[in-house]
Amino acid sequence: MSLTSEKHRLELEQFAELLSREAYELQLVPAAGEVPYDTLMVKVDLFWLELSFLPGLEDELDDVSILQCFVALSEQTPDEKLIIKINANLPIGSFGLLENPKVLFFKHNSMIPNNNPVAGSQIVHELVAMTGFLIGVFSEPLIKLATGEITAEEAIRMLLVKLP
């Protein structure tokens, strides 16, 4: 049984329609197994961006819903110090680490207005583009460090070119 409300499921379908017009590869995945909510999967670069509404907050929020954006980047995790340095320079979202299972990820949440589908679509359009940009800029040094291809010093040098 899905924790995603009917309203949110329909919104994910609308977002899928919008993003398909922009030539994104998509999958709308219904709740199943350990994932109790519906997810819109959007291919961004080499990764799948997962868009899902945080369930259970409908009674707490009147005018907005929270859309979570999550990208699993690697099953190997780098030193946390580099992640902290990168996160301090990001305009939105953050990189992080999960312990079990081990995952290097990028995540951010956005508020989507409940009664303004045009604004919601605009937010999702920009959100997917911004996530693709940030992953494209910052994920390579983190993944290379996590897999042992480069040292922390080399990762920092790669990032210095990219940071403002």
- For residue range 101-156, list pLDDT tens digits in order: 889 999 999 999 998 999 999 999 999 999 999 998 888 888 998 888 998 888 88
Q: What is the 3-state secondary structure (H, E, C) of the chain?
A: CCCCCHHHHHHHHHHHHHHHHCCCCEEEECCECCECCCEEEEEECCEEEEEEECCCCCCCCCCEEEEEEEEEEECCCCCHHHHHHHHCCCCCCEEEEECCCCEEEEEEEEEEECCCHHHHHHHHHHHHHHHHHHHHHHHHHHHHHHCCCCCHHHHHHHHHHHCC
Which pLDDT belongs to residue 35? 86
- What structural domains and CATH numbers belong to the chain? 6-162 (3.30.1460.10)
Whether the predicted pLDDT of 27 surpasses 70: yes
Query: What pLDDT, in 10s, does the model give residues 34-68?
Result: 888 999 999 998 999 999 998 877 778 889 999 99
Whether the predicted pLDDT of 69 surpasses 80: yes
Instruction: Please state, rounded to an integer, the average pLDDT across all residues of the chain.
Output: 90
Q: What is the pTM of this model?
A: 0.89
Which pLDDT belongs to residue 103? 93
Mean per-residue pLDDT, 93-100: 92
Which pLDDT belongs to residue 159? 79
Contact 128, 42 (CB under 8 A): yes
pLDDT band at residue 164 under the 50/70/90 scheme: low
Which pLDDT belongs to residue 2? 83
